[in-house]
Chain A
């Protein structure tokens, strides 16, 4: 009997699993955006002092783990498990960062949903008594993602307005018991939803139904309603996908209103070219670990649902004409305020 399961497929954490420390680092473009005062480190260029972009992404993940660990008042050798994911072949940013930090690694792939996948898994390990302190981290890098999924960075092909801009950055959260940070209260792991969309330059439309499906399941399982939340954010649906999810949920009777936002639209300024909005693992991660956790600790937000969305395809699958399977994972965080 799964005692910690609530409803059909959500989990409730009751031991007081919390985010002990959180950090976000990002590239120069993100550093000039809406989060500019909330990042722990902004790199002056996309190389982050390294000689390749892949090494730069890895460096960001290493740095963000250091920042988060320091903010939680811990040292890396006190961390029991490193849960990490990224977008590169065979998750190399995660593995190589774990090689540097020498923390036991569980590499996880969930495309851009990896941020909440790692956070949820971390909470499970702590709740279950398997670990005292876990760090969850994800990264994405505009240039490495372009190479992985699309064309060379300097290629002059025109992208449509539905395309998104992969966020360069990394976010990490230390998970454990105690502390003053927000509690991780509920999580819902998503099902893979595929509505048959095939355009890799329009991930928002492809991922929107997955987000709606998970949010609906999360509400049903937890018994919470949209009004119980101060903020509900999706990971990277951007301008096209986000309104679709809002309307799909409205059809099901969930009116999310103004509290429903998207991390992909909370990173860049309107005058920065980002097409429909930000995407990548770092989209949800730098907003959650850089901004939301801080605002929760300041008492500005009390209950927040983060729904990280991921498109689970690769260049081979879409070149072979297959549609884009998508997933979304939801986590509810609660502040320690007066409540």
Chain B
């Protein structure tokens, strides 16, 4: 099974094995996963819309600031469900449906904060809560910068 060049298994063997192993690995059911994500993601957005309408018509909030309150409420719900230990179970079923909306972002921060609480508030919670969300923020800001740059240039060109 091994060759003598000190590299362990040779490349051809590895390729053959990868091919063989693939036939044993259950294929993810993309259509079912997409459908679940569509339904759950859609429900999250519908809930957001309902919240927004409720803030505007029920509480007399200005439409311009109702969006922020909606996001805050969804984030609160996601964090609460994370703390209660059910968000990961919903996420396993819903996949992208709960990962893509703002709830997924909230869960990634709350779960990391919870996970590292045992290492203390400064080095544990503070140092690790953006462990997963950090890259979203970094690349989000970078992408926003370039989009902003393009927009400015286009406006400059088109006058």
For the complex of A and B, 6 pairs with smallest distance between CB atoms: A156-B91, A152-B115, A196-B14, A154-B111, A152-B111, A205-B21
Tell me, yes or no, whether B60 is within 8 Å of chain A by CB. no
Say whether, besides A193-B9, A240-B26, A244-B21, A155 and B1 are in contact (CB < 8 Å). Answer: no
Per-residue 0/1 for A190-203: is the Cβ within 8 Å of any B Cβ (1 yes, 0 no)? 01111111000010
The yes or no answer to A147 lying at the interface (CB within 8 A) is yes
- Among B43-51, B63-71, B81-89, B150-158, the one that faces the other chain is B81-89
Cβ proximity bits B74-97 to A, threshold 8 Å, 1 near / 0 not: 000000001101011011101110
By the criterion CB–CB under 8 Å, are A153 and B88 in contact?
Answer: yes
The verdict on B58 contacting chain A, using a C-beta distance below 8 Å, is no
Q: Are A154 and B87 in contact (CB under 8 A)?
A: yes
B21 touches A52 (CB 8 A): no
Question: Interface residues of B: mostly helix, strand, loop or mixed?
Answer: helix
Is residue B159 within 8 Å, beta carbon to beta carbon, of the partner chain? no
Q: Interface size bucket, B side? A: 35 or more
- Is there a chain B Cβ closer than 8 Å to A208's Cβ? yes
Given A152-B114, A154-B82, the answer on whether A205 and B9 have CB atoms closer than 8 Å is: no
Taking CB as reference atom, which chain A residue is nearest B107?
Answer: A156
- Which residues from chain B sit less than 8 Å from chain A, CB to CB? 1-2, 8-9, 11, 13-15, 17-18, 20-21, 24-26, 28, 33, 82-83, 85, 87-88, 90-92, 94-96, 98-99, 104, 107-108, 110-112, 114-116, 118, 131-132
Chain B residues with Cβ below 8 Å from A196 are 9, 11, 14-15, 17-18
- Residue ID in chain A nearest B104 by CB atoms: A156
Total A-B residue contacts, Cβ distance less than 8 Å: 109
Task: Please report which residues of chain A, range 148-173, place their CB below 8 angstroms from some CB of chain B when the two chains form the complex.
Answer: 151-162
A53's nearest neighbour on chain B, judged by CB, is: B118
Main secondary structure of the interface of A (DSSP, over half): loop
B40 → chain A, closest Cβ, in Å? 11
Contacts of B94 in A (CB 8 A): 158
